[in-house]
Structure 1
Amino acid sequence: MNVLVWIRRDLRVTDHPALVRAAALGRVLPLYVADPADWAGPAAAARQWEFVAETLVGLRADLADLGAPLVVRVGRAEEVIARLSRSYRIDRVLCLHRPGHPVPAGVEEVGPDAPLPPPALTPVPGVEPGLIPAARALGLAPDPCPHRQPGGRAAALALAESFAGGRGAEYPAALLSPVGGDRAGSRLSPHLAHGALSAAEVRALLPGKLPPRAARAFLDTLRLPPGQAPLPEGGDSRHLAAFAGAQTGLPLVDACLRQFRATGWLNARGRGVLASVAVHLLGLSVQDAGHVLGRLATDHDPAILWPQMAGLAGASARIANPVKLGQDHDPQGRFTRRWLPELAAVPDSHLHAPWRWEGAGRLLGRRYPEPVVDPTHAARDARDRLGPVRRAWAAPHRTQDLVLVEGTAASRPRPASAQLAFDL
C-alpha cells in the first residue's frame, strides 16, 4: 500500500502519529505543499516563510534518515495531492488532525496520541523531492528581519533545553512587562506554531527541571486556541501608516514595534499593548491592526491571531496606557532608547511623554514624530465607546498570555482575551 502523508503545521518526525500509522501500512510519501494562496494574505510575510523553509530543510534531512525524504511541491494542496495520487498510485492520504482546519475529501485525519518515536519509513519509489521555494516564488516581498530566530528542530530543541535548564525559572512573573521576556520567555512559539516541536514533547521535557510553579504556568499555556470569533468591522484608517511604520509618537509603542520588526518576536504582554493601542487609542479596525501584527510575527497563525483580536472588542477588553506602562516597566528607558536612539537626549522623567518636555520643539516633528493622538483623550473616547465598566490597562496584572495550536485537548476552557500571542 502506498500512503501519502500531508504535512502541514507539523514539521517534525518525532511525535507524529500520521507518519507512524503510514509506516505501518506500507510505503510512505511525505508531502509538504507550499500554496501561494496561503501566503497571499495581508498578514503573511517573508520572515514567516523563511522560518518555515529553514525548518523544512531540517525536516527533509530527518525524513531522509528514516528512509523517505520530504517531497515539496508548490500549488493548491488539493490539486497537488490529486496529481501525486494518480501518478504514484496512492491508496490512502493521511494528515494530523488540526482543529478548525477542515481537510479535502479523501484525506484522513489522525488524532494525537502519546508521544511517539519516529518510525522507519519505506519510500514510495521514483518521486522527485523538489526544491524548497524561495519567498519570492510565493509572491512575498523582501522583509528584512535581521534578528529573526532561525528555524529548524535543532534550534527548537536548543531553546527548549536552555529554558528548562534555567532561563524559565522566573516564568511567568518575568513576562508581565511588555518590555521583558527575551530571556525568561521560552521563545518556542515559532517552533510550536509550525510544529517543529509538539506540545506533548515540551510537556515531557519540563517537569523536574523547572521550579514547579514555573513549569505549571508554562504547561498551562499549551492549549488549543479558542474558536474563530466574528471580528468587528470599521475603524479609523488615518493612523494605520503611523502604526505600521512605528511612527506613532508614543515611545513605548514605537519601541515595541521596532523590536517586533527586527526580531519577529515580542512577548505576549507587548503584543497585547500594541493591539490595545491600535484599536482603542488609534481607532484602527481589528482587521487592520491584526494584519500589521501578523506580518511582524514569525510565529503567526491565523487560528490564534484572530480569535484573540476579536477579544479586544469583548467584555474583557482593556485600554492600554502606553505612558504609564512605559514609566512602570522601563523607567530608565533602557529598552525604549535601545530601539529609539533618537530619544537619547530626552530625560527619563519625560521619555514616555516627550511632548511634555521643555526641549520637545527641537525633537518632535524633526527627528521623532509628534504623537498622532493625545493618549489621555483617546483613552477617554475609547471608554465612552466601550461602556462605563472598563479599567485602564496600566499596572501589572495577573494574566495567562496565550495558547498554542496543538492537537491535544485543553485542560480547562479559557475565554478569549486581549492577548495576542504565545506566552512563551
Structure 2
Amino acid sequence: MTTLVWFKRDLRVADHPALARAAAIGDVLPLYVFEPAYWAEPDVSGRQFEFVRESVTVLAEYLAALGVPLVVRVGRVVDILDSLRARVPFDRIVSHEETGSGWTYARDRDVAAWCRAQGVLWEELAQSGVVRRLNGRDGWAKQRNAFMREPQAATPVALTGPALPSDGVPCLTAPDHCPARQVGGRRMAMSLLGSFLVERGQTYRKDMSSPVTGAWSCSRLSPYLAFGCLSGREASQAAAMRQREVKGTRAGWGGSLKSFQARLAWRDHFMQKLEDEPALEHRCLHSAYEDMRPKVPDAERLAAWETGETGIPFVDACMRYLAATGWMNFRMRSMLMAVASYHLWLDWRVTGLHLARRFTDFEPGIHWPQSQMQSGTTGMNTVRIYNPVKQGKDQDPTGVFTRQWCPELASVPDRFLQEPWLWEGAGTVLGKTYPAPVVDVLDAARRAREQVWAVRRGGAFRAEAKEVIHKHASRKDSQGHFVNDRAAKPKRKGPASPARDNRQMGFEF
C-alpha cells in the first residue's frame, strides 16, 4: 500500500522523520495543499504566501530527484484526501506535529475525523523540541535537549510511488509589496546557515541588538525554520559542530555560538507555551489583564503605528524597514510591540495581527507568547517599557538607520534626530513633512506603568500568577542553568525550581 506524506511546515527532505518513516514502509505519495481558507485568515499575508510557494517549488525539485513528484493541490484538505484516495488507495498518512493557530488546529481535527471515518491511520511525528500532551514544565528541557542530540532522520536515497498531476497555484492573498523579502527554499536556507557559521556569526552576540548590524550578523534563518526548510535539529547540530571547531579560540565565536544555541532552545520553549495553552492566541495569559486596555483600539494611534507615522523617529524607521523587508531583529520587534501596548495603549491582539502579517517568518508559537510578554499580560514577566528615544540613541548611534527610513528628517541635527520635538527648528518639519509625535513618550510610559502595576497588586493576582509560572516558566537544569546561556547560577544547592522569565531573551535568527 501507499503512504501519503502530508507536508505542512516542513518543506524539506532532510531530517524529515515523516518522510523517512513513509519511505521505510513502501511507496510514497507526497502532498502539499495550498488552503484558500487559511490564506484568508487575518494573521497571514502575501509575503508569507510567496515565501511558501517558492519553498514548495524547491521541495518539489528535491522530491523529483528522489524519484517521486510532489502532488500540489489547492482546496480543503479533507476534500483533496477524498479525491486522491479514489485514485490511489492509501491506508496511512504520515505528517509532523504542528503547533499552529486555532485555524490549523481545527483543520487537523477535521482530518483526524476523516481518517477515522475512512479507516486510514494517521501518524503524527515530532520534528522539534515541542512535546505534545505535556503535563508540566518539569523535565521539559531534558526532553527537548535529548531530541536535539538524536541522530537526524535519514534522507531517502530514492523513493517510489504514483505519479499524479499537480494543480496550478493562483495567488491566494491580497497584494503585499515587500521588495526586500527573503527568498524561500531549502537551498537559500543552507547557504545562510553556512555563511552564518563560518563568517557572519562571529560578532552575533555583540551585534544582534541593533538593526544596523543585526541584518548582517544574525543568521536570518527564522523564515526557513518557521516553514521547515531547515529543521531546528539541523541548525543546532551544525552549530555544535562549529562550536567544537572554534573551541579555545578568542575570536568571539564561542560566545556567539553559545547565544545562537540558546535562542534555538528558547524558540522551542516559547512554542511549547502555545502548545500547552492554545487560548493564549486570543486571551491574556493572566486573566487580570483581560480588560486593562480597550478592546476597540484608538484608530488614529493604530494607523500611525502601522504605517510608521507616529512621530517617534526610531519607531517609525523600524516599522518602515519591517514593511519593506519582512524581517526585524528581536529587540526592535519587542520595542515595536511594547510601544504599541504601553505608549499607545493598544490591545496586543490587534497590533499582534498586524505584526504577524508583516513578519515573513511568522511562527504562531513564538509570536503570540511574545506579543503578550512584551505587552505585560502574562503575569510572570517583568514589565519592560522600552524608551524608544533611548533605543534609537543606543542602537542607531550615528542615525544612519533612522535617516535611511525617515528621510523627512534630513534637516534635523544629529543631536535631536531621535527627539526632534526638542529642536528649535522643529516647526519647519513636524506637522509638515513629518508628523508630530502622537503621544508624549515619557508621560505615556508613566501612565502605562501605573496602570499595569495597579493590576498586579493583591492576593488573587499572585495566586493565578503562581499557576502560570508552574505551567509555563522555564526551569533550571541539574547544574542550575536555565535553557538560555545568560542565567545566574543559584546561590544555594537545591532541587530545580520554576523561575520567572525576567530575562530579555531574543530570537535573532
Partner of 1:98: 98
CA contact (8 A) 1:272 1:420 kept: no
CA contact (8 A) 1:178 1:273 kept: no
Partner of 2:223: 190
TM-superposed deviation, 1:123 = 4.0
Distance between the aligned counterparts of 2:500 and 2:53, measured in 1? 34
TM-superposed deviation, 1:121 = 4.4
Distance between the aligned counterparts of 2:504 and 2:364, measured in 1? 14
TM-superposed deviation, 1:415 = 6.3
Change (3 A) 1:208 1:421: closer
Say if 2:369 is the partner of 1:327: no
Say if 2:328 is the partner of 1:294: no
Say if 2:116 is the partner of 1:110: no
**What does the per-residue CA deviation read over 1:125-155, in whole Å, with 9 as the maximum and x for residues that have no partner?**
2411223x232xx2x1111111111111111
Segments of 5+ residues of structure 1 without an aligned counterpart are 391-402, 404-409
Distance between the aligned counterparts of 1:361 and 1:24, measured in 2? 72
Segments of 5+ residues of structure 2 without an aligned counterpart are 116-121, 128-149, 244-252, 275-279, 285-289, 457-473, 475-481, 485-497
**What does the per-residue CA deviation read over 1:258-282, in whole Å, with 9 as the maximum and x for residues that have no partner?**
1101111000001000000011111
Q: Paired residue for 2:430, among 361, 364, 375?
A: 364
Distance between the aligned counterparts of 2:84 and 2:331, measured in 1? 44
Q: Paired residue for 2:311, among 231, 238, 249?
A: 249
Say if 2:507 is the partner of 1:422: yes
CA contact (8 A) 1:305 1:421 kept: no
Distance between the aligned counterparts of 1:67 and 1:126, measured in 2? 10
Partner of 1:237: 298
Change (3 A) 1:173 1:16: same
Distance between the aligned counterparts of 1:316 and 1:110, measured in 2? 36
Say if 2:344 is the partner of 1:278: no
Distance between the aligned counterparts of 2:230 and 2:318, measured in 1? 27
**What does the per-residue CA deviation read over 1:6-52, in whole Å, with 9 as the maximum and x for residues that have no partner?**
00000000000111111111111111111122211222110011011
The amino acid that maps onto 1:221 is R
**What does the per-residue CA deviation read over 1:130-182, in whole Å, with 9 as the maximum and x for residues that have no partner?**
23x232xx2x1111111111111111111111100121112222113355411
Distance between the aligned counterparts of 2:502 and 2:50, measured in 1? 30
Partner of 1:399: none
Distance between the aligned counterparts of 2:99 and 2:440, measured in 1? 42
Say if 2:233 is the partner of 1:200: yes
CA contact (8 A) 1:327 1:352 kept: yes
TM-score scaled by length of structure 1: 0.89
**What does the per-residue CA deviation read over 1:357-382, in whole Å, with 9 as the maximum and x for residues that have no partner?**
11111111111111111111100111
Change (3 A) 1:342 1:418: farther
Partner of 2:321: 259
TM-score scaled by length of structure 2: 0.74
Distance between the aligned counterparts of 1:252 and 1:121, measured in 2? 52
CA contact (8 A) 2:209 2:329 kept: no
The amino acid that maps onto 1:130 is D
Partner of 1:158: 191
Partner of 2:82: 82
TM-superposed deviation, 1:417 = 7.5
How many matched pairs?
402
CA contact (8 A) 2:5 2:31 kept: yes
Report the secondary structure of 1:182's partner residue: helix
**What does the per-residue CA deviation read over 1:80-125, in whole Å, with 9 as the maximum and x for residues that have no partner?**
2233223310110010123467533232102346212321444432
TM-superposed deviation, 1:304 = 1.6
Distance between the aligned counterparts of 1:416 and 1:29, measured in 2? 44
CA contact (8 A) 1:308 1:416 kept: no
Report the secondary structure of 1:190's partner residue: helix
Give RMSD over aligned pairs: 2.4
TM-superposed deviation, 1:383 = 0.5
The amino acid that maps onto 2:96 is L
1:4-403 matches, cutoff 5 A? 4-99=4-99, 103=108, 104-105=111-112, 106=115, 107-112=122-127, 114-131=151-168, 133-135=169-171, 138=172, 140-177=173-210, 179-209=212-242, 211-223=253-265, 224=268, 225-228=271-274, 229=280, 230-231=283-284, 232=290, 234-235=293-294, 236-238=297-299, 239-311=301-373, 312=375, 313-314=377-378, 315-387=381-453
**What does the per-residue CA deviation read over 1:296-317, in whole Å, with 9 as the maximum and x for residues that have no partner?**
1100122221111122223323
CA contact (8 A) 1:331 1:348 kept: no
The amino acid that maps onto 1:423 is E
The amino acid that maps onto 1:109 is E
Larger mean Cα displacement after TM superposition, 287-296 or 121-130: 121-130
TM-superposed deviation, 1:420 = 9.8
CA radius of gyration, larger in: 2
Distance between the aligned counterparts of 1:205 and 1:334, measured in 2? 34
Change (3 A) 1:325 1:122: closer
Larger mean Cα displacement after TM superposition, 265-274 or 71-80: 71-80
Report the secondary structure of 1:109's partner residue: strand
CA contact (8 A) 1:28 1:124 kept: yes
Report the secondary structure of 2:273's partner residue: coil
Distance between the aligned counterparts of 1:340 and 1:114, measured in 2? 48
Distance between the aligned counterparts of 1:417 and 1:251, measured in 2? 28
